[in-house]
Structure 1
Amino acid sequence: MANLRKKLPPLTALTAFEAAARLSSFTRAAAELGVTQAAISRQIHVLEEDFGFPLFRRLHRRIELTEKGRQLFSAASDAFSLIADAAADLRAEGPDDELAISATISFAHFWLMPRIAAFSRAHPEIKLRIVTQDARTRIEAGDIDLALRYGMGTWPDGQAEFLFEDEVFPICSAEYAQSKAPILAPADLVDHPLISSDTDDPIWTGWEEWLAAFSVKAPKKGRGLHCSFYTEAIYAAMNGQGIALGWNRLVADLIRQGRLVRLTDAAIRTRAAYFVVVPTRKPRKESAQQFIEWLREASTSNA
């Protein structure tokens, strides 16, 4: 250990250097570390004195790493990342085993939350934290242990394991269906308000794609409600606002409860599927593996 300390540069100075190099600014590094800009400059000077060569080029109103400075920054960044990952893993261990799960709002609302009490009953020792947001969370950059996603199964931040596919069909409230003439075929749908929701995901099925699968052209100016989120579209359908597209895995419970009804036998299989995604850069928790096994069992019953 003594020999190792002799080989290492001053660690306080190295911390200041890493922040300044990452932020390309002594001022921003000082703000991040809670010290003055002069203190950062002094620590960088200490480090450059220790190495015997400059690490930054001081230009007009900006700094730039030298070639040797870039080499040191690459090594320091990797080393700090390894320490941070190890610290996060150590903090996660212990009797209070929190399992952080990321899911989209609609999947968490309609599929996960109605079922998750069964997991908690089977594993009361595991503390769950559900993070719901439609913007995709990079699981390798945060404290998420696993993510539930809909897509093609290829994400750069983790290893995806297939859960299940889905199918899409039109749905509405029982009251709405009873108040209208029978809807027997996809072509009958265009005379009704078609509820839609915003999405930036090209693999998400909308009305235009769904109707085109049955050679039906979607109306150019539909009378249906346009919602920001899929959850809003489903609630609009339950409240008699018109007809929405239902993902079977998300609306099956609502259909069994009579809060929604399926219209026509027409359906299309989704191009994508549901996956559980696990970070590749950190060891998989035992609780995460238990949750994945529970997911597989839950997905085969009352799908």
Structure 2
Amino acid sequence: MLPPLKALPVFEAVARLNSFSLAANELNVSQSAVSHQIRLLENHLGESLFYRQGRNVELTKEGKQYLDSISNSLSLIEEATNKIKGQQKTHIRLAVYSSFAVYWLIPRLPSLRYLYPNLELSIEMSHGTPDLSDKTADFFITVEREKRGFVFETLYQEELFPICSHGYFETIKNKLGVTSYQDLQSKLNVSPQKIADFPLITSHSIYDRHTEDWKRWFSSQGRLLPENTQFHRFSHLMLAYEAAKHSLGIALVNDYMMNEKENEVALIKLPCPAFKTGDNFYLAYKESRRNEEAIGYLKRWVKEQARSLTKTIT
């Protein structure tokens, strides 16, 4: 038996906004009308869909499952309606890691705007891995690789490499007694542990603990992390990047953070190898939405832009 159909867009709005009153404003109805429709739907299903917490609400486990199940159908109904009316869906929500958004995505958005002027993009920034759900976004850049009903396409393999500011680079050369980039490369190839003669900047956003990034870098060079290494500790890769810009020491950052789109590159790569973190980045979207024009536009554009990354999978 079909549920009360008028209640479904109300349920979707409340779930997306986490608020009965905000959903009422969006739908241009009273809050009591929203509550009535949710009550009808819950009575029909025999399950509570929301936890009520004052003015805010949160989906129950059953509510999350139901939202995932019906959101595809609501999207298809909207798409079919727009096609009949001669309107194309041009709005899409992209969920992406904060460092990827700030250092790689945003500088490239003028290109997206130029190619697809009618595509309206909303960016949902995440410090952790975004929840793959229609409630979160329509399109994802993520290190996750499996979820039922989703398509995953490999974007690139993640690498970290040592960087520092241009001023600090001169300090390194002076202390190690070299005068050129090539001379420094030769010295670090023979003795990569020389990097630990300088303060190292570490973050725990990738491995969930400080110094693990540098331990793995030294391991990739066949060395152990020197015991007396001085560290500056930060919670996130973005903070490590900014600390390096201000000459606090040498940081390990992701390849996408070195943005060639900037007129002046703030940091310089040290002449020594990168190492693979073991993570791959993927584009992800619902299987049922793979033929949507907005999904296709964004997917093609992101993959084309990502060709600049050193380990892009094409």
The TM-score bracket by the shorter chain reads 0.5 to 0.7
Report the alpha carbon displacement of residue 219 of structure 1 after superposing the two structures with TM: 4.1
Equivalent in the alignment of 1:299: 306
Give distance in 1, aligned partners of 2:68 and 2:270. 56
Give distance in 1, aligned partners of 2:163 and 2:136. 37
TM-score, normalised to structure 1's length? 0.67
Residues 138 and 157 in structure 1, CA contact (< 8 A), matched pair in contact too: no
Larger Rg belongs to: 1
Equivalent in the alignment of 1:187: 193
How many residue pairs get matched? Answer: 252
Amino acid corresponding to residue 292 of structure 2 in structure 1: K
Deviations 1:176-215 (A, max 9, x none): 111232362421111211111122657x971111111112
Report the alpha carbon displacement of residue 282 of structure 1 after superposing the two structures with TM: 4.0
1:251-270 aligned within 5 A: 251-253=258-260, 257-270=264-277
The RMSD of aligned alpha carbons is 4.2
Instruction: Flag the 1:249–1:160 CA change in 2: closer, same or farther, 3 A.
Output: same
Secondary structure of 1:253's counterpart equals coil
Out of 132, 140, 154, the residue aligned to residue 147 of structure 1 is: 140
| 1:197 and 2:203 matched | yes
Instruction: Flag the 1:89–1:233 CA change in 2: closer, same or farther, 3 A.
Output: farther
Instruction: Flag the 1:238–1:8 CA change in 2: closer, same or farther, 3 A.
Output: closer
Report the alpha carbon displacement of residue 106 of structure 1 after superposing the two structures with TM: 0.7
Amino acid corresponding to residue 170 of structure 1 in structure 2: P
Report the alpha carbon displacement of residue 161 of structure 1 after superposing the two structures with TM: 0.3
TM-score, normalised to structure 2's length? 0.65
1:220-231 aligned within 5 A: 220=227, 222-231=229-238
Instruction: Flag the 1:92–1:33 CA change in 2: closer, same or farther, 3 A.
Output: same
Give distance in 1, aligned partners of 2:206 and 2:285. 23
Equivalent in the alignment of 1:119: 112
Residues 140 and 158 in structure 1, CA contact (< 8 A), matched pair in contact too: no
Give aligned-pair identity as a percent. Answer: 20
Structure 1 unaligned runs (5+)?
Answer: 1-6, 19-30, 48-54, 57-72
| 1:170 and 2:200 matched | no
Report the alpha carbon displacement of residue 119 of structure 1 after superposing the two structures with TM: 0.9
Instruction: Flag the 1:89–1:261 CA change in 2: closer, same or farther, 3 A.
Output: same
Structure 2 unaligned runs (5+)?
Answer: 12-31, 48-62, 177-183
Equivalent in the alignment of 1:27: none
Amino acid corresponding to residue 146 of structure 2 in structure 1: T
| 1:97 and 2:90 matched | yes
Deviations 1:235-264 (A, max 9, x none): 110110111012223215289834111112
1:1-303 aligned within 5 A: 11=4, 34=35, 84=74, 86=76, 94-95=87-88, 97-142=90-135, 144-149=137-142, 151=143, 153-156=145-148, 158-180=150-172, 181-182=175-176, 184=188, 185-199=191-205, 201=207, 206-220=213-227, 222-253=229-260, 257-301=264-308
Instruction: Flag the 1:240–1:8 CA change in 2: closer, same or farther, 3 A.
Output: closer
Residues 146 and 277 in structure 1, CA contact (< 8 A), matched pair in contact too: yes
Residues 96 and 130 in structure 2, CA contact (< 8 A), matched pair in contact too: no
Give distance in 1, aligned partners of 2:69 and 2:269. 56
Give distance in 1, aligned partners of 2:261 and 2:223. 27
